[in-house]
Amino acid sequence: MPLTTYWAEYAWTGGTVEQGVAITATADGRIGRLTAGVTAPPPGATVLRGLTVPGLANAHSHAFHRALRGTVQVGSGTFWTWREEMYRVAARLTPDSYHALARAVYAEMALAGITAVGEFHYLHHAPDGSRYDQPNAMGEALVQAAADAGINITLLDAAYLASGFGRGRAGEPPNDRQARFSDGTAEAWAERVSAFKTSAPHARIGAAVHSVRAVPASQLRTVAEWARQHSAPLHVHLSEQTAENEACRRAHGCTPTRLLADHGVLGPGTTAVHATHLISDDIRLLGGSGTGVCMCPTTERDLADGIGPATRLQAAGTPLSLGSDSHAVIDLLEEARAMELNERLSSHTRGHWSAAQLLRAATADGHAALGRPEAGTLAPDAPADFTTIALDSVRTAGVPPRLGAEAAVFAATAADVRHTVVAGRQIVRDGAHTLVDDVPAALAEAIAALRD
């Protein structure tokens, strides 16, 4: 197959903005050559006007939550009342309807410059808890949806075994609305996930502990050991709610972070999601173990969860990534911006992260959290995954090109993404998806099918 050449008007190569960068993608979807200072597009090159950056990594997604957008913004309530609406939507999904919804959601992500998603997946079985003939039918639907939308996926298959804390092995059993989430035991979860084989180049299988309330302490190590034996990333919801922290202390006499540490869950291959309500010892445990944290600012503010200690975590040695979680919006540029701006509101000072550091959280560190450490950079032999952000929109016009990273993080939105390339193939061209003809219509149709 012939090589594909792209010419980026400007490109962020990790530290600086370079002008006139030729990027050659090989037949196997990697960057073959990258040459800066190319003053005009080479013959036959695809021109990318704007600022080209490595593909964005959405490190935490629940695809079906996209169906909640708007409806859960009506009135007041808490995380726990929001969860009731989530259960209602979850009960209606089948492998076919989940494929249709996820395909549209992942296409929306591609339009936002996202080239890889970490799908935190716990809708494993039929609504009544019975097993599909193909035990991983729901996960397979998600993997296929990502392929159809043209993006990479790390399917973070989540163990979800209990409805609350208990001192015994099983904890409190799942309620009727959680029946489809549970495999019964961590051993049964591991058996099912081990049978999920994929050779698709766009897909990787990871693991997740839904939370310390949903996986009894005695079964945490089984999930962690499975992840390490399979060299798979391991993710876990951590301390998103103060109520969960208090319940954990009553049941185990310690914080959720300490419980995870004591049962072998923390470490460089693990990413804690949210980590909003931590004490100083929690921060030391996470940073000292090299555990990553995925911040999801738009969801955390939408649910009134709070502002996590991101600066303290990073200072302790924790790498930070970003996710859109419940998809109140799908915009990794907004997630990056919100992490800095939230900290400004909390601390009354500015400049906790540079634009380059925030872009790294949205790219390289996000891909690393998804078990894709080779991605998230514009460099020879890296995956040819990149996205181009307009520098001439009403939001970005007038910013000097040398400050393109600042324009991208502090002014641009997902609407400014002009091109998205995955494995050398142009998935978004001039703001239009090349594989899904009408993404808004696909979203509307898939979501309408889940309503009363």
Catalytic, out of 65, 274, 277, 327: 274
CA dihedral (265, 368, 411, 66) in degrees, to 10, reads -60
Report the alpha-carbon distance of residue 317 to residue 292 in Å, rounded. 9
Catalytic entry in 183, 325, 365, 416: 325
Orientation of helix 355-362 relative to helix 332-347, angle to 10°: 130
Task: Annotate 424-446 with b (16+ C-beta within 10 A) or e (fewer).
Answer: bebbbeeeebebbeebeebbeeb
CA atoms within 13 A on the CB side of 452: 3
Q: Is 31 helix (H, G, I), strand (E, B) or coil?
A: strand
Say whether 327 is catalytic: no
- How many whole angstroms separate alpha carbon 160 and alpha carbon 220? 11
How buried is 27 (Cβ within 10 angstroms: 0-12 exposed, 13-18 middle, 19+ buried)? exposed
| 360 class by beta-carbon count within 10 Å (0-12 exposed, 13-18 middle, 19+ buried) | buried
- Sign, Cα dihedral of 99, 105, 106, 107: positive
Determine whether 325 is an active site residue: yes
| Residues belonging to the active site | 274, 325
